[in-house]
């Protein structure tokens, strides 16, 4: 209990240190119905120049007032000044924002603790590709939450006859698919008393799974896990196969044609694959051109469907490659 409380305070401090003083004081004292919020349930903080301060708390969006109250009304809302956003960017980039040009080009910066700061503004193009983003006026902070043990229910379905099954996690946005994937990776990598751990290679294109900061993962992905951070998924999967000899490769949010070509190559090479995709059910996936073909050809052996009705990462159903229902939430 004490350790959990200390981690909660540490996460709060990681977030507060990137805000200017006025906003820091407001966010430090966020409350709903005059009760301080649980920072573990805080998901996003959104800031827009001349716009209201917004947060997503327990899957619901709220305005934030000047005294830190969460409200569904925009009455007496805290508004963000241009200079405050500029000061935030200095804190986020440790006063050397140019050192983060590669990350800015991707539209986000990962800060200590694995929290992802999404940015938007005026794009600078070179040869029809994004070279940089200037006049940054919009920031979205997505807080990193690691929930160890959230994959306990699915591990027995993913492992069949001492082998990891090719698995696709299907989930709408904000339902915890990355959180679940992260814990699956950790448990497969570490193993337990009943099974040995396996070598897992992770392609973390958006730096959300391992949440690397200065090259070091901020999330625990297990003792046998190797990470390619900020690497395109298709390239990363092939690089891991050639260089790290993984037993399992894990990727988040597949969908591009090149991703799917690389997945086929990985599976045909005898490496097991665990991936996530946006959707609400298997029928959604069948409608996607290439993914639909992979479903019909039974390339994935397990399908895990998520929702957020009770909590983030709530497992609704698990199917096998024949469409047989293996698990359904009661």
Residue 306 has pLDDT above 90, yes or no: yes
Average pLDDT over residues 110-123: 88
Average pLDDT over residues 167-176: 90
Residue 114 has pLDDT above 90, yes or no: no
Measured between alpha carbons, how far apart are the two ends of the chain, in Å? Answer: 30
| CA angle in degrees (0–180, nearest 5) for 148-176-119 | 110
Average pLDDT over residues 199-218: 89
Question: Shortest CA distance to 179 belongs to which of 201, 159, 150, 206?
Answer: 150
Residue 32 has pLDDT above 60, yes or no: yes
CA 153 to CA 168: how far, in whole Å? Answer: 15
Average pLDDT over residues 252-266: 89
Query: Model confidence over 3-17: pLDDT tens digits?
Result: 455 556 677 888 999
Residue 83 has pLDDT above 90, yes or no: yes
Tell me the CB-side half-sphere exposure of residue 145, using CA atoms within 13 A: 23
Question: Shortest CA distance to 187 belongs to which of 214, 226, 148, 161?
Answer: 148
CA 315 to CA 93: how far, in whole Å? Answer: 37
Superfamily of domain 155-328: P-loop containing nucleotide triphosphate hydrolases (3.40.50.300)
CA 208 to CA 218: how far, in whole Å? Answer: 10
Would you put residue 101 in left (φ > 0), alpha (ψ -120 to 50) or beta? alpha
Residue 74 has pLDDT above 70, yes or no: yes
What pLDDT is stored for residue 330 in this prediction? 79
The secondary structure of 102-146, three-state, reads HHHHHCEEECCCCCEEEEEEEEEEECCEEEEEEEEEEEEEECCCC
CA 126 to CA 42: how far, in whole Å? Answer: 37
CA 276 to CA 169: how far, in whole Å? Answer: 4
Residue 113 has pLDDT above 60, yes or no: yes
| Percent of the chain's residues with pLDDT above 90 | 61
What pLDDT is stored for residue 16 in this prediction? 94
Average pLDDT over residues 114-138: 87
Q: How confident is the model at residue 207 (pLDDT cuts 50, 70, 90)?
A: confident
Total-model pTM: 0.83
Average pLDDT over residues 141-165: 92
Residue 222 has pLDDT above 50, yes or no: yes
Cβ-contact 113, 141 below 8 angstroms: no
Which segments of the chain belong to CATH 3.40.50.300?
Answer: 155-328
Q: How confident is the model at residue 19 (pLDDT cuts 50, 70, 90)?
A: very high
Q: Which two tokens stand for residue 49?
A: 């120049």
Which one is predicted more confidently, 213 or 241? 241
Classify residue 123 as exposed, middle or buried by CB count within 10 Å of its CB (0-12, 13-18, 19+).
Answer: middle
SS3 (DSSP) at 226: strand
CA 321 to CA 210: how far, in whole Å? Answer: 29
């Amino acid at each position: 209990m004490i350790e959990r409380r200390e981690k909660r305070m540490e996460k709060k401090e990681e977030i507060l240190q990137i805000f200017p003083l006025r906003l820091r004081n407001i966010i430090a004292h966020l409350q709903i119905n005059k009760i301080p919020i649980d920072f573990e349930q805080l998901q996003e903080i959104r800031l827009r120049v001349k716009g209201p301060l917004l947060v997503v708390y327990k899957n619901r969006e709220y305005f934030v007032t000047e005294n830190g109250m969460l409200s569904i009304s925009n009455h007496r809302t805290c508004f963000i000044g241009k200079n405050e956003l500029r000061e935030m960017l200095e804190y986020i980039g440790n006063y050397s924002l140019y050192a983060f040009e590669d990350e800015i080009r991707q539209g986000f910066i990962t800060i200590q603790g694995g929290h992802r700061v999404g940015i938007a503004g005026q794009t600078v193009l070179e040869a029809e590709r994004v070279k940089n983003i200037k006049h940054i006026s919009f920031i979205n902070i997505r807080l990193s939450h690691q929930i160890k043990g959230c994959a306990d229910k699915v591990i027995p379905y993913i492992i069949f006859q001492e082998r990891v099954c090719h698995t696709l996690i299907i989930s709408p946005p904000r339902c915890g698919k990355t959180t679940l994937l992260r814990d699956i990776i950790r448990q497969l990598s570490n193993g337990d008393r009943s099974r040995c751990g396996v070598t897992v290679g992770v392609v973390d294109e958006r730096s959300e799974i391992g949440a690397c900061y200065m090259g070091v993962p901020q999330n625990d992905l297990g003792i046998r896990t190797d990470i390619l951070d900020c690497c395109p998924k298709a390239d990363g999967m092939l690089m891991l196969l050639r260089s790290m000899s993984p037993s399992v490769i894990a990727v988040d949010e597949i969908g591009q044609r090149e991703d799917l070509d690389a997945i086929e190559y990985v599976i045909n090479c005898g490496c097991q694959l665990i991936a996530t995709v946006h959707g609400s059910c298997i029928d959604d996936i069948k409608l996607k051109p290439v993914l639909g073909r992979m479903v019909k050809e039974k390339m994935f052996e397990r399908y895990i469907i998520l929702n957020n009705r009770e909590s983030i990462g709530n497992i609704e159903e698990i199917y096998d490659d024949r469409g047989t229902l293996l698990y359904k939430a009661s």
